[in-house]
Structure 1
Amino acid sequence: MKKNILILIFVSFSSIAFGQLTLNNLTVENVSNPIGIGVKTPRFSWKLVSSKRNVKQSAYEIQVKEGENTVWESGKVTSEASIFNKYAGSALASDSKYIWQLRVWDNQGNVSKWAAASFGTALLDSKDWKATWISSGLKTDTVNGIVPILRKSFLTSKKIASAKVYVTSKGLYDLQINGKRMGDSYLSPGWTSYNKHLQYQTYDVADLLTQGKNAIGVLLGSGWYRTRLTWTNKQNIYGKETALLFQMVIKYTDGTTETVVSDGSWKAANSHIMYSEIYNGEIQDANLEQKNYSMANFDDSKWASVLTKDFPKDYITAAVNEPIRKHENFKPIQVLTSPKGETILDFGQNLVGWVKVAIQGKSGDQIKLSHVEMLDKKGVPYFENLRSAKAQTTYTLSGNGVETLEPHFTFFGFRYVKVEGLSGKINPNDFTAIALYSDMKQTGTFECSNPLVNQLQSNIQWGQKGNFLDVPTDCPQRDERLGWTGDAEVFSRTAAYNFNVNQFFAKWLIDVAADQNENGSVPFVIPNALRGTGFDMPVGAAGWSDASIIIPYNMYVSFGDREIVERQYPSMKAYLNYVRGAAKNDLWNTGFQFADWLSYRVDDSKGMIGMKSAITDNYLVAQCFYAYNTEIMIKVATLLGKTDEVQEYQALLERIKKAFQAEYMTASGKLISETQTAYILALQFDMFPENLRTQAVERLVKNIESYEYHLTTGFLGTPFLNPVLSRFGRNDVAYKLLLQDTYPSWLYPIKAHGATTIWERWDSMKPDGTFQDPSMTSFNHYAYGAVGDWMYRTIAGIDTKEAEGAGYKDIIIKPELGGNLTYAKGSLETNYGLLSSSWKIENNKFILDVEIPANTNATIVFPTDKLETIKENGLIVNAKNKTVGSGKYHFEMQL
């Protein structure tokens, strides 16, 4: 009897212990159950979930199996590490599936149940490629010619257990098997520095195959590979021929394997896509469509044989980033008629993607869709800011009932679409705008009591969606759409709040290193589509080229991903050495600089009465960023244990600051450029001696007051404007700038013109409704959205410590009040779990609710000096700061 009672007690205790600690979000290389990782030592991450407070992991155990064979047992590892734990078992095999299981122990005597997940390997060695590169060989397959179809039929004679496709292209592919589209990614394989770094994708296609006859059909578009890129109209940058590399591995239930590859047995023909180009758009003729071209019974006897190509495969790697996928759909909110009689659809949101049409007409009817971001003040579509980009789709109908039409190998930045070719009244339900962007998981939310600020947050996120289309582009609409390093650099920390961009930037940074010049300088756009043009210079520019240093470190801080800085460190070091070589006596005052790009000028919108242009000395800006880069290199060298380099960079930083003070500052602390940006950067990077910082803040505030609390900063000053003011105790000014709603300000485009994305210029549309210089006026340009970082960190109060606390292992919750906001709330899905901070003010009482994920710590800094009034669930805290572990907390206090 006693024995049974003891057993019952033990079972009950075990159930309670397991119930108190669970695991979720098991990932390998930041992906849940990936099917095609290309690394030989993958990293495992997981999140702990517990309803209890102060829960931390004390140990973990991982087991990895291939079938019944155990390939790794970590044993019980005493460690808090729950992210990026490296595989340490026997060598993984290519094209294989592994099951891994995990259990953890916490600091309160609980052990989780085993949690299981899977991962599949791709082709871990270039020798695993059995496929051959193939090209259509058709005369019509030119950069501006007809898109070809490549086709292959094959037999499967046994019952299929699994089937995976590994595929890439020189160009863009759209693949079908047995009449069904493979996967849900678009514009694949994406854009990389194609001749140095080409990614392939992995797909599970078992559900698309049948026992017996099967067929593959592939549309192969020019894409970024050979259509014109940049305003220089340069074509065939990476090559003149598109090509396909395809390998399908079929595993049967009897244990045998069959491989279907691209080779000389494939056939080619013209498709119905008569033209497809990144900037200009796409032309389709449904009358020429070869229906069912990917079906097994299709007659391809008149098709031509493909050409095999001896293109290299040794630089091809498995994709590490999320593919581009379809996301939000929009129906027109109104149908407009311009003064010219044009029919215009307004989708209500500036987005990036295309319009899907489901329409009926006669054979030969032609529909043309022209995409624009704005209408002028008369209601006429504004095409001028597209420059030479046509941004059109043209469809010729077949007349066979309702036809569903959409592009394949292009995209547009637009809110409005001019529709031509339809007779009679237009039906808006026939048109759907589809947003396309890299499939990053949204991680951050922000909301406050000011609706204009909430719209600003929406604009920031939509700017990121539209411009994070495989590479971080500057804009998505005109004849540019390039991976400008400066835009990405200033926005990278904000980007990491809004979405999980860890893998997105990891992939892009590979190209940063690949395209880096021999002298260590970094091109201004990555991939370097400017190479070979007059705009490609083997020099570095402050705020742009140093994305090679700043972004890797920001990714480490945001996600705790040490491997990014380890991998990029040679590139980071090479760039800093380039700047050291360009500097004279530690003063970087040579060469081309963008400086504080697009800062306020008097001639912008005719200026404000009595105001002057805010032009900051180019080399003052460069010297500040020289210090910024060096400070980061000190941190990274410390992280990586490079002691000698830490000391070297510390001495260098001291000399850089002394050189700045001697060249750009008077003895009393006045700078040679009396601009907001000059003082912001000098304060942000501690260029002033400590005893001169207070006066510098006063000069900055007086400058802002002289512009009636308007900002005048450009791309490089704007990200640090509000953080500097907050750091030095001037949140009052920071909030006035945030809430300013007349030009120039963040809220001006929203209040005056209903903007739904961030603009390239503060006055891309002027107060009088006219436009800025159309040669450089984008209405979807995220750089000024870098204020989102301050909104998360200061208004919501969510931040992380750096060094070993990076990635929100050691959290800071420090909301700072202002602007008459009565509430704000922010959340962030970190690599450890959900982190949130929500506050409101009621009857002069400040109420703060915080959620801290398991396996982390947080330091909460309260925004009141009335310490005796601070209570946590009714208990007096009586301290300005409180360190807590995981859990949910409710605080109240008097302000």
Structure 2
Amino acid sequence: MVRIARVWAEHHEPDTIGIGEDRPRISWSFAGDDRNWEQICYEVEAKHDDGRLSSVTIESSQSRLVPWPFRPLSSRERVEVRVRVAGTANSRSDWSSPLVIEAGLLRSDDWSGCQLIEPSQPTETVPGKHRPVIFRRRLVLPEGAAAKRARLYITAHGIYEAHINGFRIGDQLLAPGWTSYQERLAYQTYEIEPQLLAGQENQIDVDVAEGWFCGSLAFLCKHNLYGSRIGLIALILVEMDDGTIVRTGTDAEWEWAHGPMVEAGLLDGVTYDAREGLSASTVWRTVQTGSDGCITRLTAPDGPPIRQTQELPVRAILTSPSGKTILDFGQNFVGWVRLRSVSGPAGTTIRFRHAEVLEDGEIGVRPLRSAKCLDTLIIDGAAPIPWEPKFTFHGFRYVEVDGWPAASPLTVEDVVGVVIHSDMRRTGHFRCSDPLLNRLHENIVWSMRGNFVGIPTDCPQRDERLGWTGDINMFADTVSFLFDVSGMLSSWMKDMMVEQNAANGVVPLVIPYILGDFGPGKSAEAMWGDVAVMLPWALYVVSGDIQLLQRHYQSMKDWLNAIPRSASGLWKQAGHKLADWLDPSAPADDPSNAMTDMYLVCDAFLVHVTTLIARVAATLNAPPEEQAFYKGQIADLRDAFAHEYITPSGRLACDTQTAYALALQFNLLSTPEQQTHAAERLSLLIRQRSRFKISTGFAGTPYLGHALTKAGKSNVFYRMLLHRECPSWLYPVTMGATTVWERWDSMLPDGRINPGDMTSFNHYALGAVASWMHRTIAGLEPVEPGWRVFRVEPVPGGNLQWAEAEYRSVYGDCRLRWEIKREGKQQRLWLEVVVPPNTKCQVRLPGSADLIVVGSGQRTWEVDYHPQEWPVRALQPPFRPPDDILPKGEVVPHEW
């Protein structure tokens, strides 16, 4: 029997309070194994605060992002919503569990009486370092009544943690997160009834540190980017059961003081002196009130908060050649360490220095550049205490511990690793018979987790940690399968539009933009700027949320209009471009010096994003002349690209893996003969020139496998994927990597760190190959936006004997598993597919051209299996195409 498994509003977690939408769209997913079940109608019931019930029944098969069927919510209004559905065969589900929907403060005047409060004295101890402060306020609730509903609405200029009567409020970390503060500052909503005492004095304390607002950021070491003072905005609203409302906001009645946190920087770490804890002698000062202008910028969050998601044990305690004590957690991750208990004489100073790798047995800190990544605890000599830093985070596997009290030697039980990231719902899983590929996939997942701390960053450890647009653009297809990123990336894309508008249509390299006049920061850059088109489309494909396209359509057009063009419509060839960034042939200190011509890459992506915006225009039913304009642009740009870069036979002027991969994947070759020739040429480059080693960077890596598979050469890519020599995907795995590296050779075969100034061991971009693992090895991909129709078309290869994948779509769980079974000299392929209710699946079995369309339920097939050539042989020099590949009379051009 079909049942409603889950109900949620917009892209929020279930039962999120304080949402910013007054007409939140509702979605529900299904569970059950009924065959060919489809929804015919749904009923939504809302229970209001006053007990009233509203109900609407609608004949529709839609179960994803259905329009809000009731009157708009007002600020702070709370309703409980439940859903039931009717479907084929006269079936009817039970009511779902109720979903709590509570609006936040939807209008600026809801904050009336609240002011920004700041310390009345400067807190900047040295340039770029603000000492954290504690803001305090007391409030008394009326006697004889209990709190019926109590909420804390709060945000900060900086990052905060709130306590009431000594109890921590909520489990969010590093709130309010990082947005383009000049336009958008998120506030959070907390339920606080359990912490309040009726008829007694209640005390609220809020620790605030510099965070992204005024702390030192990135490699330019800029600070005070959004303001020069830490600040707080908060509103407490308590509804008593006798109807009384107690309202307390930030105003001149609050006090502030310094506590035991001496320093708290995102890059450098925390210094905590327990001897300076709050006491009767602590000096509390009156706050000063700042500008009220920030109230108009307050917005409810779109995505999930940053939380602790896991704890990791210490795997080993090492002693370095220099005698240092080093903790090994066995996994590179993002967060910090927590001490279960520590004690010692007053003034004992313990230092924790973090690093991703070891070099010559010592922690490798050179890749961190100017980031200290150092947490310091000074003990007060009192009873043993647990301790962990806050208001910072590090990317690390190893921790060098200095100063641990000798009276109680450090053990693995004393310390635990705290893993943090934006708490997104895991949606995609993949496994296969090859343990190294499974480890590679896990490395990709860990890199994604570590680089989604509020925004999608490039790296989580060194003095950078920025929202580079190119990285997430190339990784979008992979990450949108692995996690539900719609809410978090929707928020980030709003900041992208803010920064794009400030740059006259150009999408800056990083979002939020903090680089000022730094080099190419606000110059037009293909792939990086193309995120304005490609990312909204990728999220639309996975979520089916057409509002994403509506919201970003103008941004897409602005970006295409901002691209400097030549007379042909292609990119104007003036200036340096990042293009195929981190091509493995590029010098260590010149990562954009790639083999593939930079403007070939720019122009290939220009054709691609123009094709996408034409699809967006059609999807949104844009004016006919607008749709016709973009369709015409596609044809003109393809002709211009062919004239500039493609010979009549299909040979590319730039003879590289990236060039052919982009040309094949973006349909830049005009005839079947050109496509065949280009595919053979790409295969030859891989088999003969590189001998299955990778020679692609940011631009080519996500598309290489897809292009080869499209050309019927998946076995060639299997050979590349399973290759273990550097550069390859499995080389880092064989070197013990537990995350994806920034460079193919971030660590050299002899164990030394790459000499380049830019070397991270946690960068997800080159992990975009996971998309090929999902779509080709497993064979699982969407056909219609939102996965209403999806395809199962596995392409087994290599030495794999089985693979399985699962995607938790907005409709339910899409699952498959295939296995190759031997029966004597013959091989049989067994395939099992699970299709969730209210969806359809297109199944194509290996060796068959037929497309089988099935509805919901579980099904199995078994067919004869005829593998491709394996192992694919490398071809020997000299480097000359076979006669049947090189058209008669065509001269082999020199290598580019």
Match of 2:455 among 468, 471, 475: 471
Distance 1:481 1:604 in 2: 20
Unaligned runs of 5+ in 2: 866-896
Check if 1:889 corresponds to 2:859. yes
Is this contact kept in 2: 1:149–1:268, CA < 8 A?
Answer: yes
Question: AA paired with 2:132?
Answer: V
CA deviations on 1:189-235 (whole Å, 9 max, x unpaired) are 00001111111111111111111221100111000111111211111
Question: AA paired with 2:816?
Answer: S
Is this contact kept in 1: 2:33–2:836, CA < 8 A?
Answer: no
Deviation at residue 585 of structure 1 after TM alignment: 2.2
Q: Which residue of 1 aligns with 2:876?
A: none
Distance 2:404 2:521 in 1: 48
Is this contact kept in 2: 1:604–1:763, CA < 8 A?
Answer: no
| Aligned pairs (5 A) from 1:516-527 | 516=500, 517-527=502-512
Q: Which residue of 2 aligns with 1:96?
A: 77
Q: Which residue of 1 aligns with 2:220?
A: 232
Check if 1:444 corresponds to 2:428. yes
Deviation at residue 359 of structure 1 after TM alignment: 1.2
Q: Which residue of 1 aligns with 2:209?
A: 221
| Aligned pairs (5 A) from 1:410-809 | 410-424=392-406, 425-516=409-500, 517-530=502-515, 532-535=516-519, 537-579=521-563, 581-590=564-573, 591-601=575-585, 615-642=595-622, 643-691=624-672, 692-705=674-687, 706-751=689-734, 753-801=735-783, 805-809=784-788
Distance 1:542 1:468 in 2: 23
Distance 2:33 2:804 in 1: 22
Distance 2:752 2:207 in 1: 42
Deviation at residue 53 of structure 1 after TM alignment: 0.5
Q: Which residue of 1 aligns with 2:888?
A: none
Deviation at residue 665 of structure 1 after TM alignment: 1.8
Is this contact kept in 2: 1:541–1:592, CA < 8 A?
Answer: no
CA deviations on 1:244-265 (whole Å, 9 max, x unpaired) are 1101111111222211211110
Is this contact kept in 2: 1:178–1:214, CA < 8 A?
Answer: yes
SS of match in other structure, 1:86: coil
Distance 2:445 2:522 in 1: 33
Distance 2:590 2:535 in 1: 36
Is this contact kept in 2: 1:149–1:218, CA < 8 A?
Answer: yes
CA deviations on 1:373-426 (whole Å, 9 max, x unpaired) are 0101x2111111000110000010011121212111110000000000124332
Check if 1:22 corresponds to 2:3. yes
- TM-score of the superposed pair, with normalisation by structure 1: 0.92
Is this contact kept in 2: 1:38–1:124, CA < 8 A?
Answer: yes
| Aligned pairs (5 A) from 1:395-406 | 395-406=377-388
Check if 1:209 corresponds to 2:196. yes
Match of 1:138 among 121, 127, 138: 121
Check if 1:863 corresponds to 2:846. yes
Is this contact kept in 2: 1:837–1:851, CA < 8 A?
Answer: yes
Q: Which residue of 2 aligns with 1:815?
A: 794
**Cα 1:262–1:71 shift into 2, 3 Å:** farther
Is this contact kept in 1: 2:130–2:210, CA < 8 A?
Answer: no
Deviation at residue 140 of structure 1 after TM alignment: 3.2
Deviation at residue 842 of structure 1 after TM alignment: 1.4
Q: Which residue of 2 aligns with 1:197?
A: 184
Is this contact kept in 2: 1:63–1:70, CA < 8 A?
Answer: no
Deviation at residue 70 of structure 1 after TM alignment: 5.0
Bigger drift between 546-555 and 582-591 goes to 582-591
SS of match in other structure, 1:533: coil
Question: AA paired with 1:474?
Answer: D
SS of match in other structure, 1:230: coil
Distance 2:186 2:121 in 1: 25
Bigger drift between 334-343 and 418-427 goes to 418-427
Deviation at residue 518 of structure 1 after TM alignment: 4.1
Deviation at residue 583 of structure 1 after TM alignment: 4.1
CA deviations on 1:337-381 (whole Å, 9 max, x unpaired) are 1111111111100000001122111110000000000101x2111
Is this contact kept in 2: 1:354–1:407, CA < 8 A?
Answer: yes
Distance 2:855 2:130 in 1: 62
Check if 1:362 corresponds to 2:345. yes
CA deviations on 1:525-565 (whole Å, 9 max, x unpaired) are 000011x2323543221111111111111000011111111
- TM-score of the superposed pair, with normalisation by structure 2: 0.92
SS of match in other structure, 2:629: helix
Distance 1:71 1:133 in 2: 39
Is this contact kept in 2: 1:280–1:392, CA < 8 A?
Answer: yes
Deviation at residue 63 of structure 1 after TM alignment: 2.8
Distance 1:468 1:201 in 2: 19
Deviation at residue 90 of structure 1 after TM alignment: 2.0
Deviation at residue 69 of structure 1 after TM alignment: 6.1
Deviation at residue 604 of structure 1 after TM alignment: 6.1
Distance 2:246 2:453 in 1: 35
Q: Which residue of 2 aligns with 1:324?
A: 306
SS of match in other structure, 2:853: strand
SS of match in other structure, 1:345: strand
Q: Which residue of 2 aligns with 1:179?
A: 166
Distance 2:608 2:541 in 1: 15
SS of match in other structure, 1:760: coil
Distance 1:473 1:107 in 2: 46
Q: Which residue of 1 aligns with 2:157?
A: 170
Deviation at residue 576 of structure 1 after TM alignment: 1.3
Is this contact kept in 2: 1:71–1:90, CA < 8 A?
Answer: no
Q: Which residue of 1 aligns with 2:892?
A: none
Is this contact kept in 1: 2:686–2:692, CA < 8 A?
Answer: yes
Match of 2:32 among 36, 50, 57: 50
Is this contact kept in 1: 2:33–2:856, CA < 8 A?
Answer: no
Check if 1:81 corresponds to 2:62. yes
Distance 1:708 1:311 in 2: 64
Distance 1:253 1:636 in 2: 51
SS of match in other structure, 2:829: strand
Question: AA paired with 2:381?
Answer: G
Unaligned runs of 5+ in 1: 1-19, 292-298, 608-612, 866-878
Is this contact kept in 2: 1:605–1:763, CA < 8 A?
Answer: no
